[in-house]
Structure 1
Amino acid sequence: MHLYDDERIDYIIENELRIIQSPTVFSFSLDAVLLARFAWVPITRGKIIDLCTGNGIIPLLLSRRSQVPIDAVEIQDRLFDMGTRSVDLNDLNDQLTLHHGDIRDLPSGLLKESYDAVTCNPPYFQSKRNEQRNLNEHLTIARHEVMCTLEDVIQSCSRLAKQGGKVSLVHRPERLLDIITLMRKYRVEPKRMQLVYPKAGKEANTLLIEGIKDGKPDLKVLPPFIVYQKDNTYSDEMRNVYEEL
């Protein structure tokens, strides 16, 4: 397996799943792991697609939970290449297919309204002046709404989800009202959400939300999810996430 000078191979799941990462290009965060655990996915029948896939972390994790075909889309050349090599590394080419392209102009072969589950860990931050962005272009595109906005993301998710299909996102709590407004604009009814807290007593810093294409209003708010205990070790909830993947 060819690696660039700044790349390394990390284990995601002990001695099972491996992924190519780079501190100067892209390394996945806990948010991706939480979304892969939170999202509903079909087990033996249907199709899944992940948008803004980065180095393919979410499709790799979902392959542990589902046997169905999984597509993924990434716009950055280098991240697409990293993800493709990670799929090869894990011998998952029969299940996972990465597509190099823009979610606003979907690559050929991705059929509208054909996916049972759509997932996305999009850029979180609204585009700012150049001097306020990351100096690293790869990180800027991954973190800021440079190549796609939140509206682009939700519109694309809706286009790909079949009627009754589920759309799952991870984002920041401060964008909750924007997310719900845009979901409803594009026919995705919010049905389930959960706030993630770094520690008990701290403010939530992560939002997990799932909607159904053309679903009926009925939002369920799940119990708070705590990541760390007071001694900075993982909570029982967080340890269970890794055990379930």
Structure 2
Amino acid sequence: MVPLKGDERLDYLLAEDLRIIQSPSVFSFSMDAVLLAKFAYVPIQKGNIIDLCSGNGVIPLFLSTRTKGNITGVEIQERLFDMAVRSIEYNGLEEKIHMINGDIKEMPQKVGFGKFDVVTCNPPYFPTPSIEEINENEHLAYARHEILCTLEDAIRASSQLVKQGGKVAFVHRPGRLLDIITLMRQYRLEPKRIQFVYPKEGKEANTLLIEGIKDGNPDVKILQPLIVYNEENEYTPVIKKILYGEE
């Protein structure tokens, strides 16, 4: 049995036959991570994949069900890294998923430039606030705010890590779309697929999924919108399928 610490719990990874260690006071994965893991292209049979800003390892765990390739996760917070390592061990995936406790800005020098076929990243969404506004819980503050890693850091590192012609996928907020596209092109990642996620029909989009190709040709596809909840505040069929494998 995997050892749990403090207020940690062992949760099911929804549609997958996996378990993950979570903590309400340290880190629990969100819908964004699930959507990114489903949205990102991954090679089925072989390849090298790296997930940046991995948190408790949720995206590497999800991706492990879609590929036979090697997966690396990178998390700067030692506490979250430890949770990810124990979750990987619990699921018997040590041969497939390797976690690194480190800064994504240092990863190209550490693991190699242009080594990966696919990069995924769920970076902090919000600019660093004033000291008074920062969440007192440092784990949540680092996960949500650009304190240790900016959007540019994430895009630059992703571009340096991915192979020529390789794919990079991000999840973020729609309000940063122009910043994301500008930075992706600055770092030779050509946007190829964009999908907006809406909490309900008739509401504004609150999540953005975007994938680019290193030195790809300009030609972006806007995918069908994803609607999370119906009028009865229940998950829509497409979200149920993503979350629980239900039709």
Scaled by the length of structure 2, what TM-score is found?
A: 0.96
Note if contact 1:99-1:107 (Cα within 8 Å) is conserved in structure 2. Answer: no
Note if contact 1:121-1:170 (Cα within 8 Å) is conserved in structure 2. Answer: yes
Residue 131 of structure 1 aligns to a residue whose secondary structure is coil
1:69-127 CA deviation, whole Å, 9 max, x = no partner? 00010000100000000000100001000000001112865121011110000000011
Q: Which residue of 2 aligns with 1:216?
A: 217
Aligned residues: 244
Q: Which residue of 1 aligns with 2:69?
A: 68
Paired residues for 1:34-113 under 5 Å: 34-106=35-107, 110-113=111-114
Alignment root-mean-square deviation, CA: 1.2
CA distance in 1, matches of 2:62, 2:109: 25
CA distance in 1, matches of 2:6, 2:184: 41
Q: Which residue of 1 aligns with 2:155?
A: 154
Q: Which residue of 1 aligns with 2:198?
A: 197
Note if contact 1:100-1:107 (Cα within 8 Å) is conserved in structure 2. Answer: no
CA distance in 1, matches of 2:162, 2:129: 30
Note if contact 1:71-1:97 (Cα within 8 Å) is conserved in structure 2. Answer: yes
Note if contact 1:101-1:107 (Cα within 8 Å) is conserved in structure 2. Answer: no
Q: Give the direction of change, closer, same or farther, for the CA distance of 1:141–1:169 in structure 2 (3 Å limit).
A: same
Deviation at residue 62 of structure 1 after TM alignment: 0.3
Note if contact 1:35-1:170 (Cα within 8 Å) is conserved in structure 2. Answer: yes
Residue 114 of structure 2 aligns to a residue whose secondary structure is coil
Q: Which residue of 2 aligns with 1:233?
A: 234
Q: Which residue of 2 aligns with 1:2?
A: 3
Note if contact 1:123-1:144 (Cα within 8 Å) is conserved in structure 2. Answer: yes
Residue 104 of structure 1 aligns to a residue whose secondary structure is helix
| Aligned: 1:118 with 2:119 | yes
CA distance in 2, matches of 1:102, 1:5: 25
Note if contact 2:108-2:161 (Cα within 8 Å) is conserved in structure 1. Answer: no
Residue 83 of structure 2 aligns to a residue whose secondary structure is helix
Q: Give the direction of change, closer, same or farther, for the CA distance of 1:135–1:210 in structure 2 (3 Å limit).
A: same
Deviation at residue 216 of structure 1 after TM alignment: 0.6
Deviation at residue 143 of structure 1 after TM alignment: 0.3
**Which ranges in structure 2 are unaligned for 5 or more consecutive residues?**
none
Q: Which residue of 2 aligns with 1:28?
A: 29
Deviation at residue 15 of structure 1 after TM alignment: 7.3
**Which ranges in structure 1 are unaligned for 5 or more consecutive residues?**
none
Deviation at residue 237 of structure 1 after TM alignment: 1.1
Q: Which residue of 1 aligns with 2:138?
A: 137
**For residue 118 of structure 1, what is the amino acid of its counterpart?**
V
Q: Which residue of 2 aligns with 1:175?
A: 176
| Aligned: 1:128 with 2:129 | yes
Deviation at residue 13 of structure 1 after TM alignment: 3.0
Residue 212 of structure 2 aligns to a residue whose secondary structure is strand
CA distance in 2, matches of 1:134, 1:183: 29
**For residue 232 of structure 2, what is the amino acid of its counterpart?**
D
Note if contact 1:41-1:117 (Cα within 8 Å) is conserved in structure 2. Answer: yes
Moved >2 Å (runs of 4+): none
CA distance in 2, matches of 1:195, 1:14: 22
Note if contact 1:227-1:235 (Cα within 8 Å) is conserved in structure 2. Answer: yes
CA distance in 1, matches of 2:44, 2:16: 23
Residue 132 of structure 2 aligns to a residue whose secondary structure is helix
State the identity as a percent. Answer: 60
